[in-house]
Structure 1
Amino acid sequence: MFNHHCFYSVVTRLTNKNGHNLKECDVFNLMGGHSFRITKKDNGYFPYVEFCANKISTEIFKNMTGIKLVHETFKNGDFEIQKTMNNLKKVKNQVVLTNCFHLPYDSINYKKRKGNHYIMIHSYNQDNDTFLVSDNKYETVIIEMNDLMLAMNNQMRHKDHVVFLNYEEDFIESNIIDGITRIIRLNAIEILETCEQQFVELKEHLKGINELDPLEKSLSYFEMIHSIKSFNGPILSKNYLLQSLQKKNIEIDKKLIQSIGMWERLCFNFYKIYQFDMEIDLNNSIDKLLKLELSINNRLLNN
């Protein structure tokens, strides 16, 4: 099952509702495209490694497409829900940033996991005080006003603020195809220059995590599984890149599919460490992933 990045999803739908024909994989690339970076994190309780395999830049997107995406931020005390209803009358589809922990229709995250999540508001029903909304997982669902306000007022990026995503455009279609090709090649160059060191650091960080007490070690591996499988992680990024190529190069396609499988396998090994504290030598898997990453990006650069 292919997941969809919530931000790429709402931007794709916004552009298409305005008469353009962009796919999510196009938006993925036009926002900056594929990458590979690891960062050692510490949440105050235990360290872990965050995996990021994409770039998200609205400035790059504007330069490539002529479409400007503006985050309009209100302080909670200054915000009134009437602003949302007034915007719906003007633009028909209003994108807002929420916290998925407070979205009752999100069975995966509701009251379980906090996180920033973009949704699109389509309409307001005054009779029962509800909104019709959609996101990257749900086509259209109904949410009560109080629940929507709670999710909007408690999103993670801007504490005590409400954030809208506004859309302005001066579309430049001629830039898009050549721009995507150029972005993919530039990203390949960057990864070829940096990813070997990234994998060396990953091994070092894992070595330190393996020396933690059992509970901290277990929780670290759980966070790393979540990061790899997250909307900014390597599995989804490789899926978008695979879609971008549109079967133009069978060898690269095969390698991307292989990479997705190997990242899934690494998550499985992480799970065995998290759940059962199994002793697993991960170095061989990491070395194979590095070799494959170099091979993929060499081919992207030269094809």
Structure 2
Amino acid sequence: MLNKDCFVFAISEYLQGVGINYKSSMIFNLIGGHDLIVKKNENKYLPELSINYRIIDFDHFQKYTGVKIFIEKLRIDESIERLVEIVKKGRRQIIRLNCFYLPYDISNFGRVNSDHFLIINYYCDDTQQFYVTDNKYQSAIISLSDIKKAIIKTYKEFFDLYVLDVRNSFSQKHVNKILREIVTSNCMRILQTADTQFTYLMNELIKINKIDPLLKKIALYNLALNIKKPTGPIVSRQYLMESIEGLSEELSNDFKYLIIAWERFTIELMKLTSKASNEEENLQEYFEKYIDKLEKLELKLNDSILKHLNN
């Protein structure tokens, strides 16, 4: 089952509510699609690597759909009043909050600090509760006091409302035609840049291998979590797979082999973090084996997609 990206889901769900029926896999491509970017987050105490496998570009989305996405910023003290006003007018509203402060999200509440997108559907004056939808809960309830707390804890000064202007949206027939163009462009870029990105990943892992054993374990653990995120290689390739019509058995297998390889790499990273000690263990050859396999599978997949689209 696809581990849905909460942002992609929110955009798709909102648009379907106004009669624009883009599947989540379409939204994934229309908002930018698949990519491969390895980044090192600056942290003087701990090296933090992130592998971003998808693009979020509002201008890209508007160019290909005619739908404009923009962020309306509100002062914290006026945010609740504005939210209530919007939903009372019969509009739904996409917002971003930290799931650590969302009581209905039982798997993350009080445990996981992470941005989460949800849709506000309705507000009840009598119970002072908001009715919401997100990628895991089709219908959930959060109290006025809890949403106030979540807003205050998530934002320092200004609260973000994600607004979609659909007045100039293109026909779905037009959008369907250009999906091939988007995927083709992304595949060609990755074929040109994958070697550089995987080399950078390998070099950074070699550096991590040389740091304090405890810090090494933390860095590898964080990398494993990053790979499993909706923005990471596993979920993004699942979205890409869903978006391509008429998959041959060979191309379907190319997707599956790459996804499985990333899952196995994640498992190996977690195993390394659970070892009692690995001070003397040199992991360079260990990493090289996995990175080389991942690069070959990534290149093969993107090349196969191009061949499929050009048939």
**Normalised TM-score (structure 2):** 0.92
Question: Hey, what's the Cα distance between the residues in 1 that align with 2:187 and 2:144?
Answer: 45
* Contact 2:88 2:123 (C-alpha < 8 Å) held by counterparts: no
In structure 2, distance between residues paired with 1:114 and 1:194: 32
Match for residue 49 of structure 2?
Answer: 49
Q: Which residue of 1 aligns with 2:181?
A: 182
Name the structure 2 match of 1:159.
156
Give the aligned length: 300
Once the 2 structures are TM-superposed, how far is the Cα of residue 250 of structure 1 from its aligned partner?
2.4
C-alpha distance in 2 between matches for 1:89 and 1:141: 18
Deviation at 1:44, TM superposition (A): 4.2
Q: Which runs of 5+ in 2 are unaligned?
A: none
- Give the structure 2 partner of residue 286 of structure 1: 291
CA distance in 1, matches of 2:92, 2:43: 36
Once the two structures are superposed, what CA deviation does each residue of 1:110-163 show, in whole Å capped at 9, x if it has no partner?
Answer: 1222121111111112222111111111111111111111212332xx632211
Determine the C-alpha separation between the residues in 1 that align with 2:186 and 2:131: 38
Structure 2 counterpart of 1:272: 271
Partner residue, 1:70:
70
Is 1:296 the counterpart of 2:294 in the alignment?
Answer: no
1:171 matched to 2:179? The reply is no
In structure 2, the residue matched to 1:228 is 227
Whether the 8 Å CA contact 1:50–1:227 is kept in 2: the answer is yes
Structure 2 counterpart of 1:10, which letter? A
Q: Which amino acid aligns with 2:269?
A: F
The answer to whether the aligner puts 1:260 opposite 2:259 as a matched pair is yes
Counterpart residue identity of residue 227, structure 1: N
The reply to whether residue 208 of structure 1 matches residue 213 of structure 2 is: no
Contact 1:96 1:152 in 2 (8 A): no
CA distance in 1 between partners of 2:220 and 2:302 (Å): 28
* TM norm structure 1: 0.95
Q: Residues 189-225 of structure 1, C-alpha deviation per residue, up to 9 Å, x if partnerless?
A: 1001101111111111001101111110111011101
Q: Share of identical aligned residues, percent?
A: 30
* Structure 1, unaligned runs of 5 or more: none
Aligned residue number for residue 113 of structure 1? 112
For residues 260 and 94 of structure 2, the distance between their equivalents in structure 1, rounded to whole angstroms, comes to: 34
| C-alpha distance 17-118 of structure 1, shift in aligned 2 (>3 A) | same
CA offset at residue 58 of structure 1?
Answer: 1.2
* Contact 1:48–1:209 under 8 Å retained in 2: no
Q: Aligned to 2:89, what secondary structure does the other structure show?
A: helix
Moved over 3 A (4+): 277-280
Maintained 8 Å contact 2:72/2:162:
yes
Contact 1:152/1:163 (8 A) holds in 2: no
* Equivalent-residue separation in structure 1 for 2:247 and 2:3 (angstroms): 23
SS at match of 1:154: helix
What's 1:33 paired with? 33
What is the alpha-carbon root mean square deviation over aligned residues? 1.5
Match of 2:100 in 1: 101
Equivalent residues in 2 for 1:3-14, closer than 5 Å: 3-14=3-14
279-288 vs 213-222, which moves further: 279-288
Matched, 1:128 2:133: no
Select between 198-207 and 241-250 the one with higher mean Cα deviation: 241-250
Describe the shift of the 1:101–1:43 C-alpha distance in structure 2 as closer, same or farther (beyond 3 A). Answer: farther
d(CA) in 2 for partners of 1:179, 1:150: 42
C-alpha distance in structure 2 between counterparts of 1:45 and 1:100, whole Å: 26
The alpha-carbon distance between structure 1 residues 140 and 44, as it changes in their structure 2 partners (threshold 3 A), is farther
> What SS does structure 1 have at the residue aligned with 2:41?
strand
* Farther-moved stretch of structure 1 (139-148 vs 242-251): 242-251
Q: Is the Cα–Cα contact under 8 Å of residues 73 and 160 in structure 2 kept in the other structure?
A: yes
